[in-house]
Amino acid sequence: MKMKQVLATGAALSMALSMTPVTASAADKVDVNVIAAQYGQQTADWWANFVTEFNEANPDINLNVEVVSWNDIYTVVNTRIANGEAPDVLNIDVFADYQADDLLLPIQDVVSEETYSKMYDAFLAQSEVDGTVWAIPDLASARAMYYNKDILDAAGVEVPTTWDELKDACEKIKAYDDSLYPWGIDMTTDEGQAAFAYYTWNNGGGFVDDDGNWTLNSEQNVEAIQYAIDLVNSGYTNTDPANDTRYDLQDMFGAGKVAMLIAPNSLPTYIATGGNEVNYGVASIPSNTGESVSAGVMDRFMCFDNDYSDEEKAAITTFFDYFYDDARYTEWVDMEGFLPATKTGGEALAAANEDMASWIDILDSCKFYPTAKAEWADVKQGVINVEQNALLGGDVQELLDDLQSEIAG
């Protein structure tokens, strides 16, 4: 998601609109076009209601929101840009490649000070390049290991904390019931970069070193991805990690077919919405270093530089102020079980839900993708390609060597 707002002009325009009779013709309206990512079963309906309410409250603005699945959104957006049809506002995870191509406005050009000040500073820092913040967070999630208590108990398995324990647990679960998938892996275009993070971070590796240099073919990374591929080849995972998305895995977990998986804090909401009930537990992601690393994921709103008039910028600002209204924003985040990107939202959800308070604390210890680096979009697709080629029998070391050479030169 994304957001942007114009300070005083946005507030002034909002006040002026509230006093204007609802007689504006379609030709008089200012269009605001948004592309938003689909997070779950309720996303499209929520945005449809939002559009209706927003347009009723702002008769001089015509808001259009197109909800696109994560599997398709990158292709859709890049095609629109290539055709000179960039949206005004984009809700997605990546931003640095658009910024590097001079396609974006600094976010504070289109976000009011009131709304901007609500954001967690650490989240804003994830979208900063050379001292300028180019996108604003819409929501976040943290990841942990979920496990089916009934399956683990029946198989005589303790909750694994190390890679050796995880492999042993998978073996015992498979021996208990061969129809079950002991471990879930998503190496699709939806979450393949997350799989890379889970395994490499928990083996002392990762995308970059402490100085921000790409280290994609490090010894730790090769070992980590090979470990994950070996789990697949041993029959301990879902059979088609290149095509089974996180939602497929979450459905399998909800149906009692997957015993353990790494998933966001929104998983219980997703399962309940799907009509399933699981006796589950939550634990740290198994590690090969003795210290578990959780993965934090933050998505964004960004504003394309479409040569706006002051009136058009003010309309975008109005959109973001409306979206980040405390009550409305809290409803949005809570609906799909995500974590808030605003301090006010975090306070409200933590007060209402003790479990949510624990997850918000987890965010402080999360690692995040290096999304501020211009090469991130290529790296993201690159590690997914590595995983998928490794699933087909490719050599992990050679694949990562090639990717490192392509990205770092």
The count of other CB atoms within 10 Å of the CB of residue 316 is 30
Listed range (119-123, 172-176, 364-368) with the worst mean pLDDT = 364-368
Closest CA to 124 of 10, 4, 295, 36: 4
Q: Locate 74 and state its tokens.
A: 């990158």
Contact 138, 147 (CB under 8 A): no
CA torsion 328-333-337-341 (nearest 10°) is -150
Cα gap 372→138, rounded to integer Å: 16
* pLDDT of 254 higher than 50: yes
Closest CA to 189 of 262, 246, 265, 252: 246
The mean of the pLDDT values for the chain is 90
358-386 mean pLDDT: 85
199 φ/ψ sector (left φ>0, alpha ψ -120 to 50, else beta): alpha
Mind listing the pLDDT tens digit for each residue in 205-219?
Answer: 999 999 999 999 999
Q: Locate 316 and state its tokens.
A: 């975008």
What does DSSP assign to residue 287? B
* pLDDT of 82 higher than 70: yes
Closest CA to 318 of 43, 41, 55: 55
In the prediction, which pLDDT does 20 show?
38
Confidence of residue 364 (pLDDT cuts 50, 70, 90): low
Confidence of residue 101 (pLDDT cuts 50, 70, 90): very high
Q: To the nearest whole percent, how much of the chain has pLDDT over 90?
A: 72
Of these ranges, 272-276, 278-282, 290-294, the one predicted with the greatest mean pLDDT is 278-282
Query: Between residues 323 and 333, which one has the greater pLDDT?
Result: 323
* pLDDT of 310 higher than 80: yes
85-118 burial, b for 16+ CB within 10 Å, e for fewer?
ebbbbbbbbbbbbbbbeebbbbbbbbbbeebbeb
pTM value is 0.72
* pLDDT of 220 higher than 80: yes
Confidence of residue 26 (pLDDT cuts 50, 70, 90): low
Length of the chain measured in residues: 409
In the prediction, which pLDDT does 3 show?
31
Confidence of residue 166 (pLDDT cuts 50, 70, 90): very high
Confidence of residue 7 (pLDDT cuts 50, 70, 90): very low
Contact 287, 367 (CB under 8 A): no
